[in-house]
Chains A and B, each alone.
Chain A
Amino acid sequence: MPASSSSLEAPSLVFALCIARHSLFTAKGDPWLACGAGCWLWAVSRRKLPGSCGIRSFQIKRFLEDTDDAELNKFVKDFPGSESCHQPEAKTRVSRSHLESRPQTPDLCQDDLEFRPPSWPQSCDSQQFFTAPAPLSPSARPRSPWGKLDPYDSSEDDKEYVGFATLPNQVHRKSVKKGFDFTLMVAGESGLGKSTLVNSLFLTDLYRDRKLLSAEERIMQTVEITKHAVDIEEKGVRLRLTIVDTPGFGDAVNNTECWKPVAEYIDQQFEQYFRDESGLNRKNIQDNRVHCCLYFISPFGHGLRPLDVEFMKALHHRVNIVPILAKADTLTPPEVERKKCKIREEIEHFGIKVYQFPDCDSDEDEDFKLQDQALKESIPFAVIGSNTVVEARGRRVRGRLYPWGIVEVENPGHCDFVKLRTMLVRTHMQDLKDVTRETHYENYRAQCIQSMTRLVVKERNRNCGGCRRCCTKSKDR
C-alpha cells in the first residue's frame, strides 16, 4: 500500500480522486448516485489547501460529516493521502548548520511534487487505485518559489476551467530538470578584488590555488582568457556557472588594444554558437556566450580612466557591461556618492551603453517603482569582497577586519554587494541572458551573414570576371 510520505498538492489530488472514483464505482452497483457523491468529493478537494500538506485531516473530517455515504468513508480511509495528514506536517525547512554550507536538497523540489502527474491505474479492476510514482527523495522539501502561485487553488469549481494555467508549472518542471547555465566575465586591472568578489558572490572557492605573479613576470604577460566552470546546486536547482577571467588586462606598461583578446573571445563564442545553431545536429549545443561582464573601476582614480573608456566602448555592443566600483571600503560614503555620480556622467558623456534594467510596468505600485529606481541609481555598484569570515556583532559574517572596525560584505549599509548579487542572480539573470541572446547575438549574426554574403558576391564577381553566361548561371544556383 503506497504511502506517499510527502505532500500532495491539489492537481495530483484531483487526478487521484478521479481515478479512485472510477475504480470505486465500477465495482459498486449504482453508478449515478455514487457519481454524484464522487463529484462532490472532487469539488471539495478543490477547496483551498493551505500549507504544504496535501489534504489535511480537518478537511477529511469535514467532508465525512457532510455526507453519510459509507462508500466514501471507506474510500477516504483507504486513500493514501489521508495517512500523511496524520503525521506532523512536513515543514520544509532546510537546516543550515554553518555559514558556507549550501542548502543541499533532494532533486525533486516541491513544485515538482505539487505537480505530480496523475497516477494512471493499471487496470480498471484493480483495487489499488492510487499508485504514485515513488518520490526521488523522501526528505523535507523547501518551499517552492511558486507555491503561492499555484493555480486552481481557489474554492471555485474547477470544472469551469480548462486547465492550462498549469503551464508555468510545466515549464518550471522542465527548467528544473534541465538546469541553468550562466557565463560571467570579470575584467579590470589586477588587484581590484575580482577573484575575491567572485568567490563572495557565489560562495565558491574558484581561485584556491592561485599564484600571484611577480612584477617581472607581469611585464611579459599578455592578456589571456581563462575559464573556470563550477556547478552549483541549491534547492534542487542546478546552475552551471562559468567565470571568464582576464588576467593581465591593463597590467603592461603599454596597454594599447589590450581589450582585443577579450573582444575576440566574445566574438569567438558567438561564432561557435552560430555554427552550432546552423548545423545539422542541434540537440546538444553548448552555449558559451558571455552573458554579463563585470567591469571593475578603480576607486583610486577620478572617475573613469582612458583605458576604462576604451574597453567599455569596444565591448558595449557585444556584451552586457555592469560597471563596478571596486574596493569600496577605501572610500567614505560621500566619496562613494561623488564617484558614482562622476562615473555615471562620464559613461553618458562617452556614449557607453552599459546594461540597462528593464522598466517596470506602469501599473506597478509606488514601492516597487521606487525600488526599481533605487537600483538604477546604484550604478556603478560599489562593492567589497572578502574571502574570510569574521565575527561581527555576535554573528559570523564575511568581512574584512580592520583595526578601526569590521566591514561586512553583506551589509547593505556598508556596500552594494547585496544589491549586486540580487540583481545578478535573483532578479536579472534571465534578463541578462535574454538580452545577450536577442540583441548582442542577433547583431553579431546579422553582421556575420552580411559580411559573408558580401564576400561571396565579391568572389563570384572576381572569378567570372563579368562574363555574362557565368553570371546568369551563378544567379540561378
Chain B
Amino acid sequence: MDPLRRSPSPCSSSSRPPSPRTPPPCEAQGYVGIEAVLDQVKIKAMKMGFEFNIMVVGQSGLGKSTMVNTLFRSKMWRSSLPSLGVPTLQTLQLQSMTHVIEEKGVRLKLTVTDTPGFGDQINNDKCWDPILGYIKEQYERYLQEEILITRQRHIPDTRVHCCIYFVPPTGHCLRPLDIEFLQRLCRMVNVVPVIARADSLTIEEREAFRLRIQKDLRTHCIEVYPQKCFDEDINDRLLNSKIRERIPFAVVGADREHLVNGRCVLGRKTKWGVIEVENMAHCEFPLLRDLLIRSHLQDLKDITHNVHYENYRVCRLNESHVLPRGPGWVNLTPAPSSSSSTPKPSKVRLRTHRSQDRKQK
C-alpha cells in the first residue's frame, strides 16, 4: 500500500506558497474580508509560474520564426534559410523549444512548436496529419497523467493552447489547403489566423482581403478564436465581437532594430521607408500580441482545458468502451486504439533548450 501522502508538516511545505504578507486592513466593522482570497490566489499563481504553449503553422518563408522572435522579444529561433541544393523535407517535422522567461516577477514557461515543411510539397494531401497527431499526443499525455493513481500536484501542461496560422498574402481569398487545415484544426485547438507578410499589401487591399477571408471562414463554418459559443457574458461578447471583426490580423514580423527619428524601433528597412512593427498604422502586430499575451492568454488556456481537452477525453473514454460507472473504470490502459486514431507517427524532435531567465530573480 502506498504510503499516504503526508499531510504537510513544517518540513515539507516547500511547494506551498507562504502566507500572504499582510492581510488587507479591516477598514470597518461589518467586513469579513473575502476579497483577500484573490491575493492568496495570486500569490499561489506567481509562485507556481505560468505555462503557455503556442504553435505556428504556415508555409516556409512566411515569417513564422521571425514572428515568434518578435512576439517574445528574444531570439528564440534562428530563422533558417534552407541552402540551395538541399532537398525540402519530405515529411513534416515538428520542432519544439521551451524557454522560461520572466517579467516583473511573473515567470512564464513558454513552448513554441514550429512546423517547417507544412504545405511545401507538391502534393500536400494530409500534411495536417502530423500536426493533429502532435496535438492529440499532448492531450493523451495529460490524460494519462490525470488518471494515475498517485498523480502529481501540478500536472505539467504541454497541450497546445494556441495555434497561429499564417495565411500567405495573396490578396484573393483562402486557398483550399488553408480551408482544409483550418476546418480540421478548429475543432481541436484554438486557432488564430493571421495574414503574414502584410507589408506586401496596402491598407485597402488588406481590408478587402480580410473581408474575403472572413466570408470564407463563415461559409465553411470555421470557428476561429475567439469562438462565439464560448462567450460567457455580455462583456466578453462585446469585446470578442470587436476582435472577431479584425480577425485575421495583418502582421509584419521583424527582429532587427532601426533608428527612426532618434528612436530604436523594430522594423523592416526598405528604400521607401521603415515598416515599424509596433506601429498600429503600419500593421496589426500590437493587436495580435495584445490578444495573445496581454489580455487573452488565460482565456486561451481555459478554453483549451475546459473545452478541447474535455472533448478529447470524452472521445477517448467512449473509444475505450468503458462507461464511467463508478471509480473502477480508471484502469484505462493505454489502449491500442490510441495508435490507430493518431496517424502514422510524425517525427517529433523535441529540442529543449536551456532555460534562460531573462531577468534574474
Contact = CB atoms under 8 A, between A and B. Distances in A.
Interface of A: 11, 15, 18-19, 21-22, 25-26, 31-36, 38-39, 96, 98-103, 109, 115, 117-122, 124, 133, 136, 145-146, 149, 151-152, 159-168, 170-172, 174-177, 180, 201-203, 232-237, 239, 271, 274-275, 278-280, 282-283, 316-317, 353, 356-361, 364, 368, 372, 375, 396-398, 410, 418, 421-422, 425-431, 434-435, 438-440, 442-443, 445-446, 448-450, 452-453, 456
A163 B293 contact: yes
Contacts of B293: 162-164, 166
A36 B28 CA distance: 50
B2 interface: yes
A25 B276 CA distance: 14
Interface stretch (B86-94, B129-137, B158-166, B236-244): B236-244
B23 interface: yes
Contacts of B280: 18-19, 21-22
Contacts of A39: 263, 265, 278-279
B20 interface: yes
B13 interface: yes
Contact of A428 (B19, B21, B232): B19
Contacts, number: 290
B8 A356 contact: yes
Interface stretch (B111-119, B174-182, B298-306, B337-345): B298-306
The 7 closest A-B pairs by CB, nearest first: A120-B242, A22-B280, A430-B40, A426-B36, A170-B298, A165-B104, A358-B16
B150 interface: yes
A364 to B, nearest CB: 7
Of A121, A361, A427, most buried by chain B (CB within 10 Å of CB) is A427
Interface string B89-107: 0000000000001011110
Contacts of B101: 162, 164
B122 interface: no
A324 B65 CA distance: 60
Given A239-B34, A429-B37, A430-B40, A25 B278 contact: no
A473 B108 CA distance: 48
Interface in B202-234: 203, 207, 232-233
A358 B10 CA distance: 7
B31 A426 contact: no
B39 A145 contact: yes
Given A168-B106, A282-B310, 11 more contacts: A115-B295, A118-B295, A136-B235, A172-B38, A177-B232, A235-B35, A356-B10, A425-B32, A426-B33, A442-B5, A443-B5
Interface in B1-21: 1-2, 4-10, 13, 16-21
Interface stretch (B191-199, B326-334, B348-356): B326-334
Contacts of B314: 280
B297 A21 contact: no
Contacts of A115: 295
A357 B16 CA distance: 10
Interface of B: 1-2, 4-10, 13, 16-21, 23-24, 26-42, 44-46, 50, 52, 71-73, 101, 103-106, 108, 149-151, 153, 203, 207, 232-233, 235, 238-239, 242-243, 245-246, 260-261, 263, 265, 273, 276, 278-282, 286-287, 289-290, 293-299, 302, 306, 310, 314, 317, 324, 326-331
Contact of A171 (B21, B24, B41): B41
Contact of B290 (A36, A118, A145): A118
A429 B23 CA distance: 12
Query: Looking at B33, B242, B260, which has the most chain A CB atoms within 10 Å of its CB?
Result: B33
A434 B327 contact: no
A417 B151 CA distance: 37
A439 B41 contact: no
Nearest to A202: B32
A358 B290 contact: no
B159 to A, nearest CB: 16
Contacts of B28: 96
Contacts of B246: 120
A352 to B, nearest CB: 11
Contacts of A418: 26
A175 B39 CA distance: 11
A170 B235 contact: no
A275 B296 CA distance: 32
B161 to A, nearest CB: 13
A115 B246 CA distance: 21
A240 B101 CA distance: 36
Contacts of A174: 298-299, 302
Contact of B239 (A26, A117, A122): A117
Given A133-B235, A232-B34, A237-B34, A429 B151 contact: no
Contacts of B317: 280
Nearest to A276: B324
A453 B298 CA distance: 38
A145 B106 CA distance: 17
Contacts of A18: 280, 286
B242 A145 contact: no
B40 A427 contact: yes
A442 B7 CA distance: 11
A431 B16 contact: yes
Contact of B279 (A35, A176, A237, A359): A35
A35 B281 contact: yes
Contacts of B295: 115, 117-118, 166, 170
Nearest to B20: A427
25 contacts: A36-B260, A39-B278, A96-B29, A118-B287, A122-B242, A124-B203, A145-B35, A146-B39, A166-B294, A168-B106, A170-B297, A177-B233, A202-B32, A234-B31, A237-B37, A274-B327, A275-B326, A356-B7, A426-B24, A430-B37, A431-B19, A442-B5, A442-B151, A448-B327, A452-B327
Given A96-B31, A163-B293, A428-B19, A353 B7 contact: yes
Nearest to B2: A446
A136 B236 CA distance: 12
A428 B239 contact: no
B239 A164 contact: no
Contacts of A452: 326-328, 330
A410 B29 contact: yes
A280 B324 contact: yes
A118 B45 CA distance: 24
Contact of A32 (B17, B71, B273): B273
B7 A439 contact: yes
* Best-surrounded residue of B35, B44, B149 (most CB of chain A within 10 A): B35
Given A438-B153, A450-B2, A102 B30 contact: yes
Contact of B281 (A26, A101, A136): A26
B263 A36 contact: yes
Contacts of B19: 357-358, 360, 372, 375, 427-428, 431
B290 A425 contact: no
